[in-house]
Amino acid sequence: MTGSRHYFIGVQIHEQLAHQIKKDVDARSGLYFQKWTAPADYHVTLVFLGAIAKKRLEHIIELLEKLSKDTAAFPLELYHLDSFGQKEKPRVFFAKPNESTPLMQLREKVKKAVVTTGHPVETRPFHPHMTIARKWDTDQPFVEQAPLREVPYTMDVSSIALFEIRPEETPRYHAIKRFTLHK
C-alpha cells in the first residue's frame, strides 16, 4: 500500500464557482454543522479508492489516461441542496448535481477502469454530490433548504483528477494527477 494515504477520483469544482457557492451558503441562516468543507475541497467523487498499492494505482492512472482521450467535456449543473442521514439531523449536507447522461457515463467508465485492475468499488448506488458540511450540531431540527439559487450554477467538466486525501491539511484533497477530457 502507498503508506496510509487514501485516494479517490473525482471532478473538482472550479475555484471561482466554489467560492461563490460558499458565499451563497454562508448567507443563509440556521445551518448548524460541526464541520464545513473548504471551497478548495469542493468536488464530486466518481470513485473512492481508499488505501491502494502503488502498482495498482499506477495501473489505474494508465487506464484513466486512455479513458480521458475518449471522453468529451460536458457541462455540470449544481442547483439542489439535500442531505444524507436523518432529515431533522443530517450527517451530510450537500449540493446535488443534475444526474446528466455524460456525468453518469463518466462515472461508469471510471468505475469500470478501477474494477479492471481488481480494486474493489463501492457497491451502493451512485448518488453524485458535493459535500458542503457534516454533522448537524444543534437540538433544533434541520429545515429543508431551498435550491442554491434560481438558476443552476454551471461549469464545464474538462478534466477529472486523482486526489490524495491529507486529513491533517487544509485543503484536504490534493489533485496529484489530472486527466484532460479530449474527445
More confident residue, 105 or 183: 105
Cell numbers at residue 143, please?
429545515
CA 111 to chain centre: 14
Domain assignments of the chain as residue spans, ordered by start:
6-180
Residue range 142-146: average pLDDT?
92
Residue range 162-169: average pLDDT?
95
Q: Is 182 a catalytic residue?
A: no
Q: What pLDDT, on a 0 to 100 scale, did the predictor assign at position 4?
A: 74
Q: What is the mean pLDDT of the chain?
A: 94
Residue range 122-148: average pLDDT?
94
pTM over 0.85: yes
Q: Is 59 a catalytic residue?
A: no
CB 13 within 8 A of CB 157: no
Q: Which of 19, 129, 174, 182 is catalytic?
A: 129
Residue range 160-170: average pLDDT?
95
Say which CATH class 6-180 falls into: alpha beta
Round to whole Å and give the CA distance between 30 and 142: 8
Residue 2 pLDDT > 50, yes or no?
no
